[in-house]
Structure 1
Amino acid sequence: MKFLYDFFPILLFFVAYKLGGIYVATAVAMGAAVLQIGWGWFIKRKVETMHWVSAALILIFGGLTLALHDPLFIKWKPSIVNWLFALVFAGSVWFGQPLVQRLMSHVLTVPDAIWRRVNWAWVGFFLLSGAANLYVAYHYPEEIWVDFKLFGLMGMTFIFMIGQGIYLARHAQEPVPAATPAEESSLNADRHRPS
């Protein structure tokens, strides 16, 4: 369900494009982004940062596309989003714990060096995704770019996530179980017992 919620504007953009063209699709995506923010606030009283950033960018680039009647602006939006993510993931390493580790360490235990590698892999993936989007936008017809925006970028993401999952599984460690209160008191008693 969360997957559909996250990709709601992209799915509507795709359908609207097939029915009405790039300008209709842009307007629909802008409306969908605003609805997504409103729905998130109404249901949870909180909106994820990713949704705020994505909505702001779609409103800016979509607004420019509609105002200037130039689809190139909306075509840049996925690249800007990907490159911002690359920047955030890279910055997380320099300013403390890698973002991937913060997001996944409650599910999986791997050495810190592995978290750093996976985090840098995400940086590379986001940079590549942004570049691929622009390559398709500039070198192929608009219809191909719209298909790539939905299926190509999403397919690349799924393949990358599967590869990441396999890599992390190879390095996963068994979590160290926490001592129960009875075991703690037994250990304390042993420590204080005269030898």
Structure 2
Amino acid sequence: MNQLTKMALEMGPLILFFAVNATTNLMTATAVFVAATVIALVTSYMVARTIPVMPLIGGAFVIVFGGLTLYLDDELFIKIKPTIVNLLFAAILFGGLMARKLFLKLVLESAFKATDEGWRILTWRWAFFFVFLALVNEIVWRNFSTDTWVAFKVWGIMPITMVFGMAQVPVLMKHQLPEEEGGSAAS
């Protein structure tokens, strides 16, 4: 699957959520978000015959919390979803560090080759970043309007995450493993 298709499948449901919320209301936007997420996951599977771990986990949370929002007619569930997801990711990363497991490496090593020390540094940083995102979500949904929360979710969290991710490039570069040669020489 090419990168543009992959990005459209991952970001499309969230952008639809924002657009529908801007023109209707949170409940309608949540219904569209859930449906678009299911369609994106199915499409991803049909195109690639696999669903990447992170979109699958995120999609499951959208379906569960979005479903609870719609079923119970309560905005709280869709608003606390980012808090719970980010705290869960942080707990998994912190737990892995305590158990001497580098879960971030397991998820990302197909894209980046780094030393275990590099993965450990990145894991600590991402774990704390997920806690930060959870706290920011709590502050925004509790203190601002629903429309502001939705806008921040789309236009605040994404850029913050991209900037944070780009800020990690020096760690990756410093701890990058040399690329393997195209094969071993036969004797």
TM-score by length of 2: 0.84
Change (3 A) 1:42 1:83: same
* Aligned residue among 124, 141, 155 for 1:151: 155
Q: In the superposition, relative to structure 1, how do residues 172 and 26 fare at CA in structure 2: closer, same or farther (>3 Å)?
A: same
Matches within 5 A, 1:179-194: 180-181=184-185, 185=187
Q: Which of residues 67, 72, 78 in structure 2 aligns to 1:74?
A: 78
Q: CA–CA distance in 2 between the matches of 1:19 and 1:180?
A: 59
Q: What residue identity is the alignment partner of 1:3? A: M
Tell me which amino acid in the other structure corresponds to 1:89.
L
Query: Is this contact kept in 1: 2:9–2:44, CA < 8 A?
Result: no
- Partner amino acid for 1:67? Y
Secondary structure of the equivalent of 2:156? Answer: helix
Q: 2:27 pairs with 20, 23, 26, which one?
A: 23
1:108-152 C-alpha deviation (Å, 9 max, x unpaired): 554322220111111111111111111100011111101110011
**Larger Cα-atom Rg:** 1
2:55 aligned to 51, 55, 62, which one?
51
Between the aligned partners of 1:175 and 1:52, the Cα distance in structure 2 is 29
Deviation at 1:176, TM superposition (A): 7.0
CA distance in 2, matches of 1:3, 1:104: 16
**Matched residues, percent identical?**
31
> Could you state the TM-score of these two structures normalised by the residue count of structure 1?
0.81
Say if 1:75 and 1:165 are closer, same or farther in 2 by CA, change over 3 A: same
Structure 1 partner of 2:91: 87
In structure 1, what is the equivalent of residue 39 of structure 2?
35
| 1:142 corresponds to 2:139 | no
Q: Distance in 1 between matches of 2:45 and 2:180?
A: 38
Secondary structure of the 2:54 match is helix
Q: Is residue 126 of structure 1 aligned with residue 130 of structure 2?
A: yes
Quote the RMSD (CA, aligned, Å). Answer: 2.4
Which range is displaced more, 160-169 or 45-54? 45-54
Counterparts in 2 of 1:106 and 1:62: CA distance versus 1, 3 Å: closer
Query: 2-side partners of 1:34 and 1:10: how far apart?
Result: 12
Shift, 1:171, TM fit? 4.0
Deviation at 1:51, TM superposition (A): 2.8
Go from structure 1 to structure 2 and tell me whether the alpha carbon gap of 1:177 and 1:142 turns closer, same or farther (over 3 Å shift). same
| CA distances 1:18-39 after superposition (whole Å, capped 9, x unpaired) | 1111111011001111111221
Flag the 1:45–1:95 CA change in 2: closer, same or farther, 3 A.
farther
Structure 2 unmatched ranges of 5 or more: none
Please give the alpha-carbon distance, in whole angstroms, between the structure 1 residues aligned to 2:61 and 2:175: 37
| In structure 1, C-alpha distance between the alignment counterparts of 2:25 and 2:183, rounded to whole Å | 61
Q: Which structure is richer in relative contact order (CA contacts within 8 A, separation 6 or more)?
A: 2
Cα shift at 1:62: 1.6
